[in-house]
Amino acid sequence: MSHDQGSLTTAGELHGRSLNGPTIKAAVFLGFALTVAVWAWSAYHLARQVAEVEEQSLAISERYKRGQALLSTIRTQLLVGSVDVRDALLDPDVTNAERYRHEIEDNYRTIDEALQRYIPVFDPLDEGDRIKQVRRDIDDFRATMLEVLATDSLSWPTNARVLLRDRILPKREVVMRAEDELQALNRNNYVQQQAAIAALNRATQGQVAQRFGIALVLSFGIAFIAVLYAGRLEKEIRLQNAREVENSRSLQRLSSQLIHVQEEERRHLSRELHDEVGQVLTAVKVELAVAQRAIDAAGGPPQALQNARTMADVALNTVRDLSHLLHPALLDDLGLPAAIDGYLLGFGERHGVGVQLLGDRMDERLVPEIEVAAYRIVQEALTNVAKHAQARTCRVYLQNLPNAILITVEDDGVGFDPKDTGQAATPAGLGLVGIRERILELGGTLRIDAAIGTGTRLTAELPARMRPPVPVDAQEQSIELQPSVE
- The residue ranges of every structural domain in the chain are 14-227, 331-470
pLDDT at position 384: 87
pLDDT at position 468: 63
CB 446 within 8 A of CB 458: yes
CA dihedral 329, 333, 339, 343 (to 10 degrees): -30
pLDDT at position 267: 67
Which of residues 29 and 455 earns the better pLDDT score? 455
Least confident of 245-259, 271-285, 368-382, 466-480: 466-480
pLDDT class for 409, splitting at 50, 70, 90? Answer: very high
pLDDT at position 466: 67
3-state secondary structure 244-266: HHHHHHHHHHHHHHHHHHHHHHH
**Integer Cα distance of 227 and 27 in angstroms:** 8
Q: Is 309 exposed, middle or buried (0-12, 13-18, 19+ CB in 10 A)?
A: middle
Pinpoint the alpha helices (H) of 303-367.
Answer: 306-326, 329-333, 336-351
CB 167 within 8 A of CB 19: no
pTM of the shown model: 0.46
- Which residues does residue 358 pair with via DSSP β-bridges, in sequence order? 397
pLDDT class for 406, splitting at 50, 70, 90? Answer: very high
Instruction: Taking residues 272-292, report their average pLDDT.
Output: 73
Interacting residues of 128 by C-beta distance below 8 A, sequence separation 6+: 120
The per-residue pLDDT for range 13-58, each reduced to its tens digit, is 444 444 455 676 776 777 777 777 877 877 777 778 778 777 877 8
Tell me which range, 206-220, 224-238, 249-263, 348-362, is most confidently predicted by mean pLDDT: 348-362
What one-letter code names the amino acid at 277?
V
Which of residues 32 and 12 earns the better pLDDT score? 32
pLDDT class for 484, splitting at 50, 70, 90? Answer: very low
Identical fold between 14-227 and 331-470: no
The matching CATH number, chosen from 2.40.10.220, 3.30.565.10, 3.60.20.10, 3.40.30.10, for 331-470 is: 3.30.565.10
CB 356 within 8 A of CB 393: yes
The per-residue pLDDT for range 302-320, each reduced to its tens digit, is 776 777 778 877 777 777 7
pLDDT class for 479, splitting at 50, 70, 90? Answer: very low
CB 263 within 8 A of CB 372: yes
Q: Does the pLDDT of residue 12 top 50, yes or no?
A: no
pLDDT at position 411: 92
CB 38 within 8 A of CB 218: yes
pLDDT at position 92: 65
pLDDT class for 394, splitting at 50, 70, 90? Answer: very high
pLDDT at position 301: 74
Instruction: Specify the CATH number of the domain 14-227.
Output: 1.20.1330
**Integer Cα distance of 413 and 408 in angstroms:** 15
pLDDT at position 425: 40
Task: Name the average pLDDT for the chain.
Answer: 75
